[in-house]
């Protein structure tokens, strides 16, 4: 029997160069408030948590969390690590339930579930390393020759710059592109027109044989989204992502039932039951849970089964290896989100600077190694000079 002997948590504070802020490049939930300071501050995050689960034979599994990392670190150190140390990583379902049920009064969602997710991901990495198998081989194996990915960037800015970015991206052979809206309810009709102009401009560049996805990041209201949907239909978006705040599940269901543009979401939902509720209520046509928030790989696999029964495709939020392994192992995950390697801007990019091993997309696909045990990432020392590390 293997035993987990310690859990090490570290917060990585990026102190290196960043792309300077440039206005409202993506609508977000804070847009509903009057402006005081930087409206994008809740959107940007330049810290990341790594969680290393060490076993008695020296094997170390790596997990991570990007949501409120300093607080998640504290939750793991004080509450979750003592529940996990001494357990056998192969009892992962028991460990998950133990973490979930012992902290049920406060841990079911938010910080608590993020902590559970990070530990669970690390346990799966450890199980892969202990068995000498890549994680996707433990989850069901290879369902695809390679994983199709979509280019996820195209933040709102002036039209020429967005078109230039799309043109450049097309030279890398992607067949799907996701763009962010920059205008929402407070910008009125002129903002609506600005949004539509950008969608049209992107269609001009990528043509009509490539997929276009549109992202609101919870920056619209139900009323605004209802007015926008008919105007967007002619651009044939593959989906409209997170039009309203995550708690407005009824709003998602109403928009999705309009059947004009498929509605996607779920990256801010927590747990198996939270995602099951989205599916039961018909709130999304594409489910985009975030493995880092939803309860890790253990919960994600259960959600995959439920989504398959509803025939709703799952496209996990964000790049990252834990998502790629899930996408590889599930036939119902048709494509993966892919953040191109880029200078540090929003914060999404940080995992390229903390870890080594994330695959780079080629011609619109990425590949996982059949023989690389675990998730296939390691903690890098290449950029240590650009981080302040909090143990």
Residue 63 to residue 61: CA distance in whole angstroms:
7
DSSP reduced 3-state for 387: strand
DSSP 87: S
Q: 90: exposed, middle or buried (C-beta count within 10 Å: 0-12, 13-18, 19+)?
A: middle
Residues whose CB falls within 8 Å of the CB of residue 153, separated by 6 or more in sequence, listed in order: 165, 169, 178, 339, 340, 342
Neighbours of 110 (CB within 10 A): 17
Structure tokens at 346: 């929003």
| Burial tier of 234 (Cβ tally within 10 Å: 0-12, 13-18, 19+) | exposed
Q: Where are the alpha helices (DSSP H) in 14-158?
A: 69-75, 81-84, 92-102, 104-107, 111-131, 135-138
Which residues are known catalytic residues?
Answer: 317
Compute how many other C-beta atoms are within 10 angstroms of the C-beta atom of residue 254: 18
| CA nearest neighbour of 158 among 44, 38, 22, 43 | 22
Structure tokens at 132: 């000498």
Instruction: Classify residue 314 by its DSSP letter.
Output: B
Between CA 78 and CA 60 the distance in angstroms is 20
Distance CA 245, CA 376 (A): 34
Pull the structure tokens for residue 83. 């529940």
CA distance 72 to 77: 9
154: phi then psi, degrees, rounded to nearest 5: 45, 55
Instruction: Using DSSP, state whether 43 is helix, strand or coil.
Output: coil
Q: Where are the beta strands (DSSP E) in 71-195?
A: 147-152, 176-180
Q: Where are the alpha helices (DSSP H) in the chain?
A: 69-75, 81-84, 92-102, 104-107, 111-131, 135-138, 159-170, 188-206, 222-232, 249-257, 271-280, 291-294, 296-310, 321-329, 351-354
CB atoms within 10 A of CB 106: 11
């Amino acid at each position: 029997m293997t035993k987990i002997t310690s859990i090490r948590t570290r917060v990585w504070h990026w102190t290196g160069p960043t792309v300077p802020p440039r206005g409202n490049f993506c609508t977000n939930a804070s847009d509903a408030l009057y402006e005081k300071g930087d409206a994008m501050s809740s959107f940007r995050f330049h810290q990341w948590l790594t969680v290393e689960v060490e076993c008695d034979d020296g094997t170390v599994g790596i997990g991570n969390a990007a949501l409120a990392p300093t607080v998640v670190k504290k939750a793991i150190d004080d509450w979750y690590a003592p529940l996990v140390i001494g357990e056998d990583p192969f009892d992962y379902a028991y460990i998950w339930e133990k973490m979930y049920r012992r902290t049920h009064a406060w841990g079911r969602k938010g910080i608590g579930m993020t902590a559970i997710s990070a530990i669970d991901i690390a346990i799966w990495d450890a199980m892969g390393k202990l068995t000498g198998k890549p994680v996707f081989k433990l989850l069901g194996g290879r369902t695809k020759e390679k994983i199709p990915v979509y280019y996820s960037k195209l933040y709102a800015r002036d039209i020429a710059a967005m078109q230039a970015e799309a043109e450049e991206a097309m030279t890398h052979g992607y067949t799907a592109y996701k763009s962010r809206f920059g205008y929402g309810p407070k910008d009125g009709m002129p903002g609506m027109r600005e949004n539509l102009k950008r969608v049209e401009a992107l269609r001009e560049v990528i043509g009509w044989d490539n997929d276009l996805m549109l992202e609101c990041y919870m920056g619209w209201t139900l009323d605004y989204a209802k007015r926008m949907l008919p105007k967007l239909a002619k651009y044939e978006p593959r989906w409209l992502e997170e039009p309203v705040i995550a708690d407005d599940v009824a709003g998602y269901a109403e928009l999705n039932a309009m059947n004009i543009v498929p509605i996607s979401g779920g990256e801010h939902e927590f747990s198996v039951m939270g995602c099951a509720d989205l599916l039961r209520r018909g709130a999304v046509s594409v489910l985009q849970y975030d493995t880092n928030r939803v309860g890790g790989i253990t919960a994600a696999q259960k959600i995959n089964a439920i989504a398959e029964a509803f025939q709703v495709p799952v496209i996990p939020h964000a790049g990252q290896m834990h998502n790629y392994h899930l996408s590889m192992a599930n036939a119902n995950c048709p494509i993966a989100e892919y953040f191109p390697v880029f200078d540090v801007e929003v914060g999404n990019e940080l995992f390229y600077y903390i870890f080594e091993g994330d695959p780079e997309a080629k011609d619109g696909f990425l590949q996982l190694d059949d023989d690389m045990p675990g998730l296939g990432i390691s903690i890098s020392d290449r950029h240590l000079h650009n981080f302040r590390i909090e143990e």
